[in-house]
Structure 1
Amino acid sequence: MKFTIKGLMGAAAMMMASTIAAHAQTTLKWAHVYETSEPFHTESVWAAEEIAKRTDGRYKIDVFPASQLGKEADINQGLKLGTVDIIISGSSFAARDYKPIGVTYYPYIFRDPAHLIAYTKSDVFKKLAQGYEDATGNHIAAVTYYGTRHTTANKEIKTCADMNGVKIRVPDVPAYLAMPRACGANTTPIAFAEVYLALQNGTVEAQENPLTTIEAKKFYEVQKNIALTGHIVDHLNTVISKQLWSSLSDEDKKIFSDVMMEASERATKIVEEREAALVEKFKADGLTVTEVDKADFEKTVLENQPVESFGYVQADYDAIRAVQ
């Protein structure tokens, strides 16, 4: 009888310990709109696993790719509603809550990826990121190079004037509109997940995205001309919700931040390596890849769509341009 009681007590203790452990583990949702083949997903999965390791399993993070939890606007809203805890999203969407940060999407503000990464370590970045956090409570934990945006179209494009009258899909974000509108194109906002079909059925005649995205989303199947406009050196933010960030201890904040920055560095390296090889790959696949007159594009944008016309601060633009 004594052994039976001891056995029952032991089993009860084990069940209680298991219950406590289960309660101690916090499950989080990490959402983005990118494909599972892209580094923004693979390195998010790595980060989720790494955070679990470094916190001794106290956090279990499930990553939801490819718009599973909604389009980019939806997951940004999810941070406010508490339906997601972490997202990967562009500063263009952050600018809906804090307009000045949108200047980082103004065409030709960054010279190249190295300039972008240098900016993320600068005082002007700290100022803009803090402004966004003050406005929303959400915390930008890391920045990843997304790729340099180029244009695909039904016809060859060499100059800004060649875009006149072209129906082009552009995200419904002010700074994204600057280059196409400066060149006289007709901009059409279409959700990212619907771009392929819109190109295929002729709803639009062109779109703009990095080469890695053109490959991942298979836009090259329905567009045979790539113009290397290089108009935006693009980036994504890893954003932690106000609710989650405020609940973390200082130690856990450091773990989350360190891991997310490591993940962004890993993803950035992958993107740069892939981009370097894609121009030749697309040419080999029979696509027309055209070098454009970038000086012509930049001059036209500055003249027709000036920085302050979007409500951005000229001093922020100047400070970013000055970063070395």
Structure 2
Amino acid sequence: MTRLRSGFSAASVFSAAVFGAAALAAVLASGAASAQTKLKWAHVYEPAEPFHTASVWAAGEIAKRTNGRYQIDVYPSSQLGKESDINQGLTLGTVDMIISGSSFAGKAYPPIGVTYYPYTFRDANHLLAYAKSDVFKDLAKGYNEKTGNHIVAVTYYGVRQATSNKLFKTCAEMKGLKIRVPDAPAYLAMPKACGANITPIAFAEVYLALQNGTVDAQENPLTTIEAKKFFEVQKNIILTGHIVDHLNTIISAKLWNQLSPEDRVIFTEVALEAAARATKEVAAREKELLDVFKQKGLNVVEVDTAEYRDTVMKNITFESFGYRKADWDRIQAIKSDGM
């Protein structure tokens, strides 16, 4: 056996080298296994709202199901920007996942915004049936092809109602009313058709705008009116019910393309479960809130929604927003069951 000057045999040196290589490989493998990808999930809603609590649950569940390979931090309350900002962030790389309405997705791919044309959905059940339909799949595919971003789940957001310090009951009585709407075309349809003065204001700034009289009115689901405390600075809730609203859980093109097929399944399944959780909570709370607001002294006003709908249909065309009437007709044909 050949011995080196140090007194070690060639065989022992070879064995040590093999062992060292194996040990290094084990360390590298361990490091790869424990490598963690940090992600940002953003939205504009309050920490106490189901949209946030379900997102936090989903972040933890994804970490659990991927053995800790993903750490997702959820940023509520417009911390990473207003809704238009976080939608742009999917492309810019400042966020990886968001919850946001199809009205904002419609800025990139207008046809998907047709769901925000007033009185498109009959109720929450109709909306949820749409989320499982071929119409939704076709529109989501068009959005994906346009942006690369991937919609993985739909959450019921609630029926949008108007609140105002100036009482109105008919569409015509909204003429000249200063009303805040989100900065997306779809929300303009009903107020515009009724002759209101439309003022887009960032979601985080609405309370102050109502408080100081910059605007007289706003529109949102009852659960949002509660969460954002708009009831503190508004006298009347007018049940226009003009949009049955929803939020999409969207994964950026960059992240989706990096996910393995197995991880795509995990992210999608968890997002769907989170959406179902939030939907259930929102629907339950929505049923309770009219009585809650009445007890707080607000004036709850019933209106003839058919008059509002007919005025919108007469004055606002689908094409003016980039929508396709054929998509709307397909949605109308969807049958729905109970939630």
- Tell me the TM-score range normalised by the shorter chain: over 0.9
Q: 1:260 aligns with which of 271, 277, 280?
A: 271
Matched position secondary structure for 2:289: helix
Whole-Å separation in 2 of the counterparts to 1:309 and 1:19: 55
> Are 2:70 and 1:54 equivalent residues in the alignment?
no
> Are 2:280 and 1:269 equivalent residues in the alignment?
yes
> Are 2:114 and 1:103 equivalent residues in the alignment?
yes
User: In the alignment, which residue of structure 1 is the partner of 2:260?
Assistant: 249
Q: Compute the displacement of 1:14 (Å).
A: 9.5
Whole-Å separation in 2 of the counterparts to 1:243 and 1:42: 25
Q: 1:186 aligns with which of 194, 197, 208?
A: 197
Q: 2:143 aligns with which of 124, 132, 143?
A: 132
Q: 2:83 aligns with which of 65, 72, 90?
A: 72
Whole-Å separation in 1 of the counterparts to 2:325 and 2:186: 14
> Are 2:331 and 1:323 equivalent residues in the alignment?
no
Q: Compute the displacement of 1:21 (Å).
A: 4.2
Q: 1:110 touches 1:116 (CA, 8 Å); kept in 2?
A: yes
Whole-Å separation in 1 of the counterparts to 2:169 and 2:139: 35
Q: Compute the displacement of 1:155 (Å).
A: 2.2
Query: Deviations 1:209-246 (Å, cap 9, x if unpaired)?
Result: 00000000000110010001000000000000001111
Whole-Å separation in 2 of the counterparts to 1:19 and 1:118: 45
Q: 2:59 touches 2:73 (CA, 8 Å); kept in 1?
A: yes
Q: 1:236 aligns with which of 247, 253, 272?
A: 247
Whole-Å separation in 1 of the counterparts to 2:329 and 2:129: 15
Whole-Å separation in 2 of the counterparts to 1:205 and 1:86: 34
> Are 2:213 and 1:197 equivalent residues in the alignment?
no
Matched position secondary structure for 2:273: helix
Query: Deviations 1:100-137 (Å, cap 9, x if unpaired)?
Result: 00111000000000000000111111100000000011
Distance change (3 Å), C-alpha of 1:17 and 1:246: closer
User: In the alignment, which residue of structure 1 is the partner of 2:222?
Assistant: 211
- Give the letter aligned to residue 250 of structure 1: P
Q: 1:47 touches 1:263 (CA, 8 Å); kept in 2?
A: yes
> Are 2:172 and 1:161 equivalent residues in the alignment?
yes
TM-score, normalised by the number of residues in structure 1: 0.94
Q: 1:167 touches 1:205 (CA, 8 Å); kept in 2?
A: yes
Query: Deviations 1:79-106 (Å, cap 9, x if unpaired)?
Result: 1011111000111111111110011100
User: In the alignment, which residue of structure 2 is the partner of 1:63?
Assistant: 74
User: In the alignment, which residue of structure 1 is the partner of 2:99?
Assistant: 88
Whole-Å separation in 2 of the counterparts to 1:68 and 1:152: 26
Query: Deviations 1:9-57 (Å, cap 9, x if unpaired)?
Result: 9x9999767644442x111111111000100000000111111111111
Matched position secondary structure for 2:244: strand
Q: 1:168 touches 1:185 (CA, 8 Å); kept in 2?
A: yes
Larger radius of gyration: 2
Q: Compute the displacement of 1:309 (Å).
A: 2.5
Matched position secondary structure for 2:249: strand
Whole-Å separation in 2 of the counterparts to 1:310 and 1:193: 25
Whole-Å separation in 1 of the counterparts to 2:324 and 2:102: 15
Q: 2:54 aligns with which of 29, 43, 54?
A: 43
- The root-mean-square deviation of aligned C-alpha atoms, in Å, is 1.8
Query: Deviations 1:38-78 (Å, cap 9, x if unpaired)?
Result: 00000000111111111111111111111111111111111
Q: 1:156 touches 1:288 (CA, 8 Å); kept in 2?
A: no
> Are 2:283 and 1:291 equivalent residues in the alignment?
no
User: In the alignment, which residue of structure 2 is the partner of 1:148?
Assistant: 159
Comparing 53-62 and 134-143, the one that deviates more: 53-62
Matched position secondary structure for 1:84: coil
Whole-Å separation in 2 of the counterparts to 1:291 and 1:266: 30
Q: 2:41 touches 2:72 (CA, 8 Å); kept in 1?
A: yes
Q: 2:110 touches 2:321 (CA, 8 Å); kept in 1?
A: no
Matched position secondary structure for 1:70: coil
Q: 2:34 touches 2:68 (CA, 8 Å); kept in 1?
A: no
Q: Compute the displacement of 1:161 (Å).
A: 1.4
Comparing 186-195 and 153-162, the one that deviates more: 153-162
Q: Which runs of 5+ in 1 are unaligned?
A: 1-8
